[in-house]
Structures are given as structure tokens and as C-alpha cells.
Structure 1
């Protein structure tokens, strides 16, 4: 199933893209600029981010951001809303691969603590971005809501033994998006995930590209179609979806089936009952 064809949004639309100095984030920023969006590129790499924004022209700007820091993300979102007075789209896209080996055998008498930076950047940071996007989209003067797209991965759908922390984070993002989407639909705020297969970016080790046949790589154009499908789908409140992008195809993946009627009843129970129980 393919995403909807791209349409040109109004020129006053404002977007934040994290992880925007390279790879998917830079490609998305470039695509949005071409469609007359105002785009704020956010990345921890100040040199590459500033250069990218300069190349993209006057509708692009750059804010150095450590997405694993609440303070840094808050400053980003606050500056954007203060400057432009609205926020229409957020791509929570920044990500890294595993930074430690969960399988490691240590020579010391006790195991060393695991480096959790992968989970901080790949799971906690997008949830921070979501919370901030929600805050500011609710304050759009025309009450138009907004679209949030989180970059998960095909590793969020399948086991990925070489990078188990990455896989755990990406699985978590899909569960998070599917969980919050129904609650926010009435506010015209949509939350979706894209799940790219292997795309040629600097996320993976350079040696990987000598081992993978080029015809097994997913082109950036497929990823852009998925993003724009969700952006354009905001007007129809397309939400809670996980779009798996594999080579030239986009597949909208359903959650696993309920194994029994009791489980279906439990998770399909009136949302108000659960909200009331947790005093939300």
C-alpha cells in the first residue's frame, strides 16, 4: 500500500525536524522547504546543522539541540513558537545505534553499568518531543492541531540481535504512538510512526555498506512518501499508524491480533474507564 500523493501545504506552516543535519532528517527538511514550509532544523552537530540550514535558504534555520536533554528540547520548542507563533509538524527523527554491548563478558569481578545513551536518544527523546509538540500545538491560534511523526524502524517490528537496545527503543515508539493517538484525535493532533528498512545514512558503520547489496537498500524517496503521507493525512486525522518502508513499498502495519475475546475486551474497554482509574 502506498502513501498518498504529496500536496503543497500553505506557506505559513512551521515544522521542527530533529536529527536534521544529515540522513533522513536532512532529506525531510529539504523536501518540506521545497513545499514552502518554514523548517527549524535541530541537531547536536552544530557545524553540519548550520551548514544545512544555510544551504536550504531563508525558510530554514538551525537550533543546536541535544534531544536527550529536556532543557535543550524545551529551549528549541519554546524558541520556535515564540518566533513563529505556531507549530504544525514535528518529526521526532534523531537516533543512534547501540553504544554498548549487552552481551559483553567482562574481565573485572563485577559487570560494568550499561551505557543507556541509545535508549535516551531513541526512546526517551521522542517522547519528550511528543510532550513538547503537544503543549505548543494545543496553543496554535487557529486550533488546527498538528502532526507528529516519530521515526521508528523495521527493527521496531522484528528482532534485531546486533542492536537489541535500538530494537527495544524502536518497538517502544510504535507502542507509544498507537497508545496516545486515539486520545488526541479529537484535538486534531495526529501521531504516527515510520519504520524504515535499511537506508543509506551515517547511522550504521561505514563497513556495512560493503556487505549489503544495493538493491536491498530503501531509497530516501520511499521514506519521504511515508512522511508526506502522514502530513497530508492530518486533514483526514490519519493517526496511530506504523508505516513500514521497504525498498519501493510502504506497508501500514496492524497491531498483533488479540488471542482471545477477554483480551480484546480488556484493551478495547471504554477509554474513559481507564482514564478515570488513573485520574487523568
Structure 2
């Protein structure tokens, strides 16, 4: 039976590449994006279904998952990939509350809404995999966009905190932390600069292949750094034990 795969932010970039990857494997792909024209084009290309989705609205997330289940009878994989950058900094000439709220709404609240909608549906179908797009900025400092970095750190915290409970219900939750990727988040001049400086810039298709590999695995609660030409590299987090009285 063909897999049922939902991908948010799938009208372009990594999301579109993931949709194409699974479409090529014969999956039923549900393409979700706020960009109607782009999303419909990708859905047509992969023989899937487009559902216009504003991930910052909880109702849209619930409707997306409900539509996927009603149309195809279940759910196997959800990739919560939608994201934006440029939350600004904290200097007087770069502090913008509206920009901050937008990045928080898409990158963090949108993921929360997506998790809330998708996790019970995956469990009800007998389990499956959920992958969230974080960033290398979620596992390290990112002075160029601290608000973006904060949301991506938050995404990893969600994944690590939710994974144990939902793994018991058959749902594996993991995060990907891409490095430099040729998407609309990186202007062409930035890509040219990075390549000129000798940095590797991945193609979205390469990231999509890694998403498929992670989704098919047995691990849960992991965050994987994805860089051009390298296998998924799990992030090592420190382990702490609570101090007991008298210890």
C-alpha cells in the first residue's frame, strides 16, 4: 500500500524536494503551503493533492491533516517544514516587533499546531514518522538572525521533549538541521559568496533524500545536521541528572 505523506512549506525549496522524492516512490503526497500557485504546481507534478495551509492558523493545520486522512485513509509521514527567516536583531535600527512575531508564528507556533494536529492521526493509523525542519542555527549560535535561531532551538526542544511519549504510541519524531541549502531563504548573491568562500551548499534534493532516510529509521528524539555531501549527523546533547537533597 502506498505511503501517505504530508509536507508543509512544499511549494518550493526543501518541502518541494521532499514532495518530489516521495512522489517518485509512489506515495500519496499532500502538498501544503500558503502559496496556492506554487503548491498546486508541485502537487500536479507529483500526482498529489494540494491543500492551501497557513500554518500559523491552528484550524488550517487540523483541516490539512483531516483532509489527508479522509482522502487517503490514513497517514504515514508528516514533514513540518514550513519556515521563514529574518526576525531581525536587537540593535535599535534592526529591532522590529512585527518581524519577530511573524518568525515566531511560522517557525514555532506553526510547528506546535502541526504537531497537535498530526501526532494523534499518526498514532491512530498505527504509528509512523514525523520530521520537523529546524536548522543548524537551532543547534548553534546564529548571530546573523537571533530570533530565527531562537525558534529553531525551540523546535528541537519540542522534538526531544515529545519524542519519548509518542514513541510509545508508535510515532517517531525527529528534527533535521540543514546547513546551507539552495532555497529562497538564501539569496543568489549569498549563495555565490558562500561558494566563493569554499562553503558547501546542498541541493534541496539531497536534503530530501536524508529526510526519507531518517523517516524510515527507528530513532526518535534526535536532531540531525544535514550538510552537502555528508550523511545525516546526529547532534550530541549533554545529559544532566537532577541533584537530590543530600547528594
Question: 2:202 maps to what in 1?
Answer: 218
Give the conservation status (yes or no) of the 8 Å contact 2:87–2:145: no
Question: 1:62 maps to what in 2?
Answer: 50
Paired with 1:222 and 1:21, the residues of 2 have a C-alpha distance of 17
Question: 2:220 maps to what in 1?
Answer: 239
Question: 1:271 maps to what in 2?
Answer: none
Question: 2:5 maps to what in 1?
Answer: 15
1:126 maps onto 2:111 in alignment: yes
Cα shift at 1:102: 3.3
1:105 maps onto 2:89 in alignment: no
Give the 3 Å change call, closer, same or farther, for CA 212–232 of structure 1 in structure 2: same
Give the conservation status (yes or no) of the 8 Å contact 2:75–2:122: yes
1:162 aligned residue (117, 125, 144): 144
2:64 aligned residue (76, 87, 90): 76
Paired with 2:167 and 2:46, the residues of 1 have a C-alpha distance of 33
Post-superposition CA distance 1:112-144 (Å, at most 9, x none): 74431001101111111111111212322xxx2
Give the conservation status (yes or no) of the 8 Å contact 1:100–1:114: no
Aligned pair count? 241
Unpaired runs of 5+ residues, structure 2, are none
Cα shift at 1:193: 0.3
Root-mean-square deviation (Å): 2.0
The alignment partner of 1:95 has SS state of coil
1:185 maps onto 2:167 in alignment: yes
Cα shift at 1:180: 0.7
Question: 1:6 maps to what in 2?
Answer: none
Question: 2:77 maps to what in 1?
Answer: 89
Post-superposition CA distance 1:77-136 (Å, at most 9, x none): 111112222011100000111244432338xxxx87443100110111111111111121
Give the conservation status (yes or no) of the 8 Å contact 2:28–2:72: no
Q: How does 1:199-218 map to 2 (within 5 A)?
A: 199-213=181-195, 215-218=199-202
Question: 1:256 maps to what in 2?
Answer: 238
Give the 3 Å change call, closer, same or farther, for CA 114–55 of structure 1 in structure 2: closer
Paired with 1:27 and 1:199, the residues of 2 have a C-alpha distance of 12
Give the 3 Å change call, closer, same or farther, for CA 173–76 of structure 1 in structure 2: same
Paired with 2:62 and 2:9, the residues of 1 have a C-alpha distance of 16
Cα shift at 1:221: 4.3
Give the 3 Å change call, closer, same or farther, for CA 42–252 of structure 1 in structure 2: same
Post-superposition CA distance 1:37-67 (Å, at most 9, x none): 100000000011111111222xx11111101
Q: Compare 94-103 and 175-184 and name the one that shifted more.
A: 94-103
1:40 aligned residue (26, 30, 35): 30
The alignment partner of 2:151 has SS state of helix
Question: 1:228 maps to what in 2?
Answer: 212
Question: 1:139 maps to what in 2?
Answer: 124
Structure 2 length normalisation: TM-score?
0.90
Unpaired runs of 5+ residues, structure 1, are 1-9, 267-280
Give the conservation status (yes or no) of the 8 Å contact 1:17–1:91: yes
